[in-house]
Amino acid sequence: MTEEKTNNRVHGIVAEYTSVDSLLKASRRIRDAGYKKIDAFTPFPVHGIDEALGIKPTVLPWIALAGGLIGTCTALVMQIWMNSIDYPYIISGKPFISLPAFMPVAFELTVLFASFGAFFGMWALNGLPRFSNPMFTDPRFDRVTDDRFFLYIDAKDDRFDSAGVQKLLGETGTEYINSVYEDDTPTKIPKFIVIGLGVLMALSIIPALVVAKMRVTKSSSPRFHIFYDMDFSPAKDMQQTTTLFADGRAMRPDVIGTVARGQMNQDLDFMTGIDVEALSRMDMPRAQRLARAYSPSALAMDDPVADVPAAEVPAKPADEPIAEKPAKAGKKGKKKTAEDQPVAEDKPSEPKKEDPVVDEKPAEPAPAEKMTEASKPAEESATAVEHGDSAAVAPAPADAGVAVDTTPWLTENPLAISAEVLSKGQEQFDIYCAVCHGANGAGNGLVNQRAQKILATTWNPPSSLHDEAISSGKYPEGKLFSTITNGIRKMPGYGSQIKVQDRWAIVAYVRALQQSQKASIDLVPEDQRQRIELLKKDVDKVLAEQAEAEKQRAAEANKSASTP
Amino acid sequence: MSDHSPKIKPADDPAFKLPESLGALSVPLCIGGIAALVIGWMLGWFAVDARFGMSAYLTAFTYCLTIALGSMFFVIIQHLVRAGWSVVVRRIGELLMMMVLPLAVLFLPILVAVWVGGGTLYEWTNDNFVEETGYSAKAWANKLGYLNPGFFTLRAIFYLAVWVGLALYYFKGSSLQDETGEISITERLQARSGPALILLSLTTSFAMFDWVMSLAPTWFSTMFGVYLFAGGMLSTHCAIAVGSYVLQSRGALRDEITVEHYHDLGKFIFGFTFFWTYIAFSQFMLIWYANMPEETEWFFHRQEGVWMWVSLSLVFFHWMLPFAGTMSRHVRRRPMLVALWGCYLLVMHFVDIYWIIMPEAEQGMGGVTGVIASLLCVIGMSCLMLGLVLSKASQTGVVAARDPRLLESLRFHQI
């Protein structure tokens, strides 16, 4: 026994054995003597040792089972939440919650969590991680990994009594009994470890600092691309060519006879803002073109028919082949410019502003050019349709030279007006329209203010939506819708950005805006009148103050102007 | 445990012989089995229709065949991995594997049905298939390059020859060792086990394509062979557990097969229950997800009418119930419970095979008569097989008595 450690607390007593059999015998003896806090150390797993030591069956399987069940639930809840509630997304046409699709992840997480349960549960039950064990202070304990077996009785055991235990162990055929003392090596972490860790942590900050510096400074050298493909995608944009397909077109036309998901535009009135039935009575070819433009499948299927109205075009300049032309212009824009053809899109100031009803329609190409365009195969227009339902496929409300608009616009909003629709319209209006038209629709949005400030010469001020010309009596709902869709004068079309539904909601909101300017307080529900009155008082006060300040300033300016 | 060291008994010890009471069952089982099989088959044939009768026969045949092939896998894998624990139960697997010999004969009616043609059993033998189903004639012509009676027969002969050859090779080797105790026999069997396993896997998979999957000739699943292998392997472990329990209850192998061996069999039953589910679900999910008509038709048909309930019963009673039931160590360490779960899963394996084959007969379950016919067929064929296995067992003993690893197996102990 080691004399110099006697001042330390005894942790337990250990005995050494030379064979499994003697260890098992001794274990049973100690167990039968009533000791509970005992342990054995062996170089290899020994069958029956748990029974000999009186170790109760472990609860670890239950922890693993619980882990597995938690894993299953986690996976299912996670997937249902992500895929079905938070971000509902149709995949492969399956329902949002489709269990078979969730099974693989549920299976994997069950296995993972069960493994975690088993692994970390084992740690917890064994009191791990632990950096030292008093057993290691015993000089002969190293042989436990070689050819010796040790039995250990902990001092915390109720029956522990040093002399008694040593006597009992002495009867079990051991040649070595030793007290195990508390490990008295310093618990302080060695300096070199502290320094090493400190240096490592300091070094690890460097990348973060570099990134932070990059974020706030400018550099003249081009950025480097870690994932080249992500910055320069091989995907093709519109109107580009490719060698992959025989016809060289990167954008593929729809397969003949098919309709893309969400493109089944059946309600033409709703899509165009025009009463198509009335239009077909007035002007059949135009109605047909409209129909074809909005349903590519119909277009692709009736190839021969499609040519008929198109052939009429040169004879009737007022009826442009709407579906075909802008696509043409887009595709062949450069070529046409070279040929000195008038391409309106490239020339911002067409001398047509005086005509209030006229669109941003380009000038008519020469009839000959039109003829060739019109006789192009129907594919052409299919391409146009593909590029969006904005200007490319839009009906022209009127044409250059035709001042009177005879289009049978819808006069009522096809949406059922509700608070929801209006707030949707307001939201969309504030996003897309308010920058120019102003949040109140008076035509003085931020873009306009800036344009006035810098005296932009090409700026065409947006209309005030409270203009008499745009009021509901004079400007039908359908036309308003069409203007939002296709644009007017300098205003671009928003058909490709705003959903049809939302465009109609904007129409409804614009009407509400217009009405708000000439509404009387009687229209406000009773319970909200008081609030409005209060608001009005505040606003009036501010306005009065402003007017006062303005007057004063004017007076001062006058004074200073007149003084010299 | 090391405090009692088991002794190897001499090879002619009565504990290694088939108990008389079981051996006496052999002849009655064979006769009764043949009777039940023929009655069930004829009942299906005449009370429902010829195709239904043949399908019921094929169900029974496939049921026994998957267990026989599973046992062959079991035996060869034990040699391949040089398993020590399983020596005391391996002979039961070897006896079950020998079922392929009578099954090769019982395959004849199926072969005859193919040559008779007209869709007696397999629809692809029907000459008017394209006209009746509207299936693409070109695709059908290509399919017939594989599915035609001549090539079918050639392949069948090849599969059966391989199986009979392997069964005889491994069984003869093992029973020869009973007499000579020659270690070189074990070495020889081990050395051949790798190629044997490859050959067995491929023939099993293709036989299942030919004999079972081709019932729906336009449908295909590359996993199909593995699926039936999974069911067969599960059933084999069940059958060995049940066989061990019955033998022990009649006095044989009482000291040899211990709770440790049941524990291992129980683990395999648990594992293969899940493996079966894993394969079944993988097969289902890929088809369900891709949602292509030529693939979904097979499962769609099994979701209609009464088959939906059979499909659901597989989910709940072939997976969930036995999965939960055999999960616990306490269950696996009770021989009787392991044997009971084994019996249960052997029944569920029949439901599985029934679910695979019978919907293709296009008669539903064939009413009460149809169900009785199907059950008589499978009971009859199982009894016949059992009778033949018992008669074989009475000649050779029920344990590999002089296997060099017998002592290791006797001493086997779970950690």
**What is residue B392's three-state secondary structure?**
helix
Burial of A232 (0-12, 13-18, 19+ CB in 10 A): exposed
Distance between B278 CA and the closest CA of chain A, angstroms:
10
Tell if the CB–CB gap between B289 and A92 is shorter than 8 Å: yes
With beta carbons under 8 A apart, name residues in chain A contacting B289. Answer: 92, 94, 100-101
> What value does the mean pLDDT of chain A take?
76
With beta carbons under 8 A apart, name residues in chain A contacting B290. Answer: 92
With beta carbons under 8 A apart, name residues in chain A contacting B288. Answer: 100
- Nearest-angstrom CA–CA distance, B122 and B132: 14
pLDDT at A213 over 60: yes
CB neighbour list of residue B252: distance below 8 Å, 6 or more residues apart: B15, B16, B17, B18, B19, B398
CB neighbour list of residue A107: distance below 8 Å, 6 or more residues apart: none
The mean pLDDT value for A219-234 works out to: 83
What is the per-residue DSSP string for A185-233? S--SPPHHHHHHHHHHHHHHHHHHHHHHHHHHS--SSPPP-SSHHHHS-
Are A319 and A370 spatial neighbours (Cβ–Cβ below 8 Å)?
Answer: no
**Cβ of A47 under 8 Å from any chain B Cβ?**
yes
Tens-digit pLDDT profile for chain B (415 aa)? 444 567 788 878 888 889 989 999 999 999 999 999 999 999 999 999 999 999 999 999 999 999 999 999 999 999 999 999 999 999 999 999 999 999 999 999 999 999 998 888 999 998 888 888 888 889 899 999 999 999 999 999 999 999 999 999 999 999 999 888 889 999 999 999 999 999 999 999 999 999 999 999 999 999 999 999 999 999 999 999 999 999 999 988 888 899 999 999 999 999 999 999 999 999 999 999 988 888 999 999 999 989 999 999 999 999 999 999 999 989 999 999 999 999 999 999 999 999 999 999 888 888 899 999 999 999 999 999 999 999 999 999 899 988 999 988 888 887 6
What b/e string do you get for A166-180 counting C-beta neighbours within 10 Å, with b at 16 or more?
Answer: eebbeebbbeebbbb
A393 confidence band (pLDDT: 50, 70, 90): very low
For chain A, give the percent of residues with pLDDT over 90. 15
Tell if the CB–CB gap between A48 and B288 is shorter than 8 Å: no
ipTM for the complex shown? 0.84
Q: Which residues pair with A181 in a beta bridge?
A: A10
Distance between B285 CA and the closest CA of chain A, angstroms:
6
- Nearest-angstrom CA–CA distance, A44 and A39: 14
Tell if the CB–CB gap between A101 and B285 is shorter than 8 Å: yes
0.95 exceeded by pTM: no
Of B288, B329, B415, the CB nearest to A45: B415
Q: Provide the H-helix boundaries in A358-445.
A: 367-374, 379-386, 419-428, 434-437
CB neighbour list of residue A263: distance below 8 Å, 6 or more residues apart: A296
Look at B142 and A309; give whichever has higher pLDDT.
Answer: B142
Best of A42, A107, A108 to mutate (most B CBs within 10 Å, chain B) = A107
H or E, element range at A176: strand A176-181
Distance between B1 CA and the closest CA of chain A, angstroms:
6
Of A47, A48, A103, the CB nearest to B285: A103
**Cβ of B285 under 8 Å from any chain A Cβ?**
yes
What is the per-residue DSSP string for B200-221? HHHHHHHHHHHHTGGGSTT---
The mean pLDDT value for A310-314 works out to: 38
Q: How many A×B Cβ pairs under 8 Å?
A: 30
**Cβ of B115 under 8 Å from any chain A Cβ?**
no
> Among all chains, which residue has been given the structure tokens 């160590």?
B329
**Cβ of A304 under 8 Å from any chain B Cβ?**
no
- Nearest-angstrom CA–CA distance, A356 and A278: 24
With beta carbons under 8 A apart, name residues in chain A contacting B3. Answer: 24
What is the per-residue DSSP string for B227-262? HHHHHHHHHHHHHHHHHHHHHHHTTTTTTTS-HHHH
Tell me A360's DSSP state.
Answer: S
Best of B5, B285, B303, B414 to mutate (most A CBs within 10 Å, chain A) = B285
Tell if the CB–CB gap between B415 and A101 is shorter than 8 Å: no
What b/e string do you get for A33-69 counting C-beta neighbours within 10 Å, with b at 16 or more?
Answer: eebeebbbbbeeebebbeebbeeeeeeebebbeebbe
Distance between B354 CA and the closest CA of chain A, angstroms:
24
**Cβ of A95 under 8 Å from any chain B Cβ?**
no
Residue in chain A lying closest to B291 (CA): A92
**Cβ of A34 under 8 Å from any chain B Cβ?**
no
**Cβ of B286 under 8 Å from any chain A Cβ?**
no
The token pair that represents A101 in the structure block? 């699709």
Of A48, A65, A94, the CB nearest to B1: A48
Tell if the CB–CB gap between B413 and A47 is shorter than 8 Å: yes
pLDDT at A332 over 50: no
Q: What is the pLDDT of residues A476-515, one digit of tens each?
A: 888 888 888 888 888 888 888 888 888 889 999 998 888 8
With beta carbons under 8 A apart, name residues in chain B contacting A92. Answer: 289-291
CB neighbour list of residue A551: distance below 8 Å, 6 or more residues apart: none
- Nearest-angstrom CA–CA distance, A288 and A157: 97
A333 confidence band (pLDDT: 50, 70, 90): very low
The token pair that represents A461 in the structure block? 């001020």
Best of A55, A92, A102 to mutate (most B CBs within 10 Å, chain B) = A92
Distance between A97 CA and the closest CA of chain B, angstroms:
13
pLDDT of residue A295: 65
Tell if the CB–CB gap between B289 and A101 is shorter than 8 Å: yes
Tell if the CB–CB gap between A103 and B413 is shorter than 8 Å: no
pLDDT at A391 over 80: no
Distance between B208 CA and the closest CA of chain A, angstroms:
26
A119 confidence band (pLDDT: 50, 70, 90): very high
Tell if the CB–CB gap between A48 and B289 is shorter than 8 Å: no
Best of A47, A49, A59, A102 to mutate (most B CBs within 10 Å, chain B) = A47
Tell if the CB–CB gap between B281 and A45 is shorter than 8 Å: no
Distance between A236 CA and the closest CA of chain B, angstroms:
28
Neighbour order of strands in the sheet with A38-41: A38-41, A149-154, A10-17, A176-181
- Put simply, the chain B residues between 288 and 307 with a CB less than 8 A from any chain A CB are 288-291
Of B281, B327, B415, the CB nearest to A103: B281
What is the per-residue DSSP string for A194-206? HHHHHHHHHHHHH
With beta carbons under 8 A apart, name residues in chain B contacting A47. Answer: 1-2, 413, 415
Burial of B220 (0-12, 13-18, 19+ CB in 10 A): middle
Rounded to whole angstroms, what are the CA distances from B288 to A91, A100, A324, B273, B305?
Answer: 13, 8, 43, 22, 19
The token pair that represents A275 in the structure block? 């009463």
pLDDT at A251 over 70: yes
pLDDT of residue B132: 87
pLDDT of residue A381: 40
Tell if the CB–CB gap between B2 and A21 is shorter than 8 Å: yes
**Cβ of A69 under 8 Å from any chain B Cβ?**
no
Look at B377 and A381; give whichever has higher pLDDT.
Answer: B377
With beta carbons under 8 A apart, name residues in chain B contacting A94. Answer: 289
Of B2, B285, B413, the CB nearest to A100: B285
Look at B61 and A166; give whichever has higher pLDDT.
Answer: B61
Look at A374 and B127; give whichever has higher pLDDT.
Answer: B127
Are B295 and B263 spatial neighbours (Cβ–Cβ below 8 Å)?
Answer: no
Tell if the CB–CB gap between A92 and B291 is shorter than 8 Å: yes
